Amino acid sequence: MSTGTSVPTLPSDLQDLRATALEVLRGNDLGDVTRPSPTLYPHQWLWDSCFIAIGLRHVDPARAAAEVLSLLRGQWPNGMIPHVIFAEVDDFYHAGPQRWRCDRYVVTASGAQSTGITQPPMIAEAAVRVGEMLDPKARIDFYRALLPGLIRFHEFLHTERDPDDEGLVTLVHSWESGMDNTPPWMEATLPITPRRVKVLRRLGTAEALDALRRDAKEVPAEERLTSADLFTLYRVVRELRRSCYSFRNIRETEVPLVQDVAFNAILVRANDHLVEIAAEAGVKLPKRLTRSMRRCREAMEQLWSQSTYFSRDFRTGELLRHETVGGFLPLYAGVVPEERIDGLVKAMTSPRYWPRYGVASVPADDPAFLPRCYWQGPVWVNINWLLADGLERYGRLEAARELRANVLNLISSSGQMFEYYSPLDGTGAGSNSFSWTAALLLDLLARPDLPEIQAVAARAADRLGTTGVPGARRATDEDRPAAADAG
């Protein structure tokens, strides 16, 4: 990674924040891949690398392109790009290669070890963002190197994971959603709880399992999923392994099968980007794939009910009616009819999702809500990036700025790159020195409308009685030309 020269237009205090972000990325740099964090996540994760590339492009576009391309190292013969490609480090990760034993079934493109599941398909988004920073020749070379693998990945999703041609892609583990213990997934996973966990739960002694987990050595257990949930997710891995990771076998087991709303929304957007990438590289996409893309976009409508979007159970066809931030991601996909947009914006900025900071991963009035616990309440920077991007494309610039300003306030109040933040008091939780928080902060700081975002951040900080973003008051509405804001 290059040194990342200073950005001349940035106030000096934001330069400091930027320097911290760069330091985090440099510290997590493993060559041409970046680990999510130094201790808890020592390998390469699919969607993490994509968000990381989106930030790195402002510092070193060639390195960002390498980060995206490196994901192809893990590609399976069936086209799947795995959720984790294991680095050759001493394995202290709690769900390392020995839990998956995938090398018994497949050899990845590079021979690297991997998990047997995938993660949200952010690759095309990352590729387009990185492509914007490359000169035209380098961009076309990059796209051409990426395309064969990327096309096969999208084909895998639309065929292997949509065997009944319903339009929507089905996930086989909550880790594939990226939102590991999000309530609808944990409910869907409940029936497969291992017997010993059920017994301990019944006896009220499930914390006896705490001593057996590795992840809680890095991060306080109460900021992660419960041990009962974690051991249930390990059980799902065992079933997947026994099914040789083949959907045809998996569907015959008790493994939860979910048409995840957020994953499918990300796929719809990725498909649009794939079309763009292919056109620029002069590559024709297979007809069957373009048909699947269209059907996936149309099928998103089936996930809408009354006031939000939900995930759906693949087997029963029933919506999993437990509201989470995932229900807003169709905004990112661009599939929401105009008449629903303002309602969704109102909901995501209401005290339920924005008690003090937003957008929370679970509404604050939900019985499952825990402000500092993983995907059960905290604000995640990557999800807010996706939402702001969607809002901007719908012309809701003011709302997009509110989200970005809020993220800036959250990060700058501690000056550290946490994995997630409490929507109640803004404190950081989970892993520290977390790469995608750092990378997406770099992306935010490089935005041309940063002064306007800073002004919104300053107003929010005044309202909340907090210190707010350093340097924000240099960019008030008075000393800047009015923004062309349609929001």
**Roughly how many angstroms between the first and final C-alpha of the chain, as a whole number?**
37
Closer Cβ to ligand 9WN, 84 or 403, answer by number: 84
Phi-psi region for residue 289, left (φ > 0), alpha (ψ -120 to 50) or beta? Answer: alpha
Write out the binding residues for ligand 9WN, residues 213-242 only, by CB under 6 A: none
Closer Cβ to ligand 9WN, 122 or 458, answer by number: 122
Our finding on whether 430 is near ligand 9WN (CB under 6 A) is: no
Give the x-and-dash track for 53-72 against ligand 9WN (CB under 6 A): --------------------
Our finding on whether 45 is near ligand 9WN (CB under 6 A) is: yes
> What distance in Å separates the CA atoms of residue 91 and residue 108, rounded to the nearest whole number?
19
Size of the site for ligand 9WN (CB under 6 A): 10
Q: Where does this chain touch ligand 9WN (CB under 6 A) — which range of 172-180, 192-200, 304-312, 461-469?
A: 172-180
Q: 28-63: string of b/e by CB count within 10 Å (b at 16+)?
A: bbeebbbbbbbebbbbbbbbbbbbbbbbbbbbbbbb
Q: How many angstroms separate the Cα of 89 from the Cα of each of 2, 29, 40, 93, 382? A: 24, 13, 13, 10, 26
> What distance in Å separates the CA atoms of residue 50 and residue 354, rounded to the nearest whole number?
26
Is residue 162 within 8 Å of 90, Cβ to Cβ? Answer: no
Is residue 180 within 8 Å of 375, Cβ to Cβ? Answer: yes
> What distance in Å separates the CA atoms of residue 132 and residue 139, rounded to the nearest whole number?
8
Q: Is 45 helix (H, G, I), strand (E, B) or coil?
A: strand
Our finding on whether 41 is near ligand 9WN (CB under 6 A) is: yes
> What distance in Å separates the CA atoms of residue 159 and residue 256, rounded to the nearest whole number?
19
Q: Which of 125, 160, 176, 180 is catalytic?
A: 180
Our finding on whether 48 is near ligand 9WN (CB under 6 A) is: yes
CA nearest neighbour of 263 among 330, 315, 320, 321: 330
Q: Is 103 a catalytic residue?
A: no
Closer Cβ to ligand 9WN, 51 or 304, answer by number: 51
Write out the binding residues for ligand 9WN, residues 84-123 only, by CB under 6 A: 95
Our finding on whether 418 is near ligand 9WN (CB under 6 A) is: no
Please pick, from the candidates 143, 156, 175, 394, the single residue that binds ligand 9WN as defined by CB under 6 A: 175
DSSP letters for 161-177: T-TT--SS--BSSHHHH
Q: Is 280 a catalytic residue?
A: no
The distance of closest approach from Cβ of residue 122 to ligand 9WN in the complex, given in angstroms and rounded to an integer, is 10
Give me the half-sphere count of Cα atoms (radius 13 Å) on the Cβ side of residue 164: 8
The distance of closest approach from Cβ of residue 163 to ligand 9WN in the complex, given in angstroms and rounded to an integer, is 24
- Token representation of residue 56: 């790195």
The distance of closest approach from Cβ of residue 178 to ligand 9WN in the complex, given in angstroms and rounded to an integer, is 4
Our finding on whether 180 is near ligand 9WN (CB under 6 A) is: yes
Our finding on whether 260 is near ligand 9WN (CB under 6 A) is: no
The distance of closest approach from Cβ of residue 26 to ligand 9WN in the complex, given in angstroms and rounded to an integer, is 18
For residue 199, the tally of other CB atoms under 10 A from its CB is 11
Q: Where does this chain touch ligand 9WN (CB under 6 A) — which range of 13-21, 44-52, 297-305, 353-361?
A: 44-52
CA nearest neighbour of 269 among 180, 184, 170, 154: 154
| Residue nearest ligand 9WN (C-beta atom) | 36
The distance of closest approach from Cβ of residue 357 to ligand 9WN in the complex, given in angstroms and rounded to an integer, is 19
Our finding on whether 82 is near ligand 9WN (CB under 6 A) is: no
Closer Cβ to ligand 9WN, 83 or 152, answer by number: 83
The distance of closest approach from Cβ of residue 458 to ligand 9WN in the complex, given in angstroms and rounded to an integer, is 31
Q: What is the rounded (10 degree) CA torsion for 416, 422, 427, 430?
A: -50
The distance of closest approach from Cβ of residue 83 to ligand 9WN in the complex, given in angstroms and rounded to an integer, is 6
Q: Where does this chain touch ligand 9WN (CB under 6 A) — which range of 52-60, 173-181, 198-206, 301-309?
A: 173-181
Q: Which of 162, 229, 260, 419 is catalytic?
A: 419
- Name the residues that contact ligand 9WN, by CB under 6 A: 36, 41, 45, 47-48, 83, 95, 175, 178, 180
Positions marked active-site: 180, 419
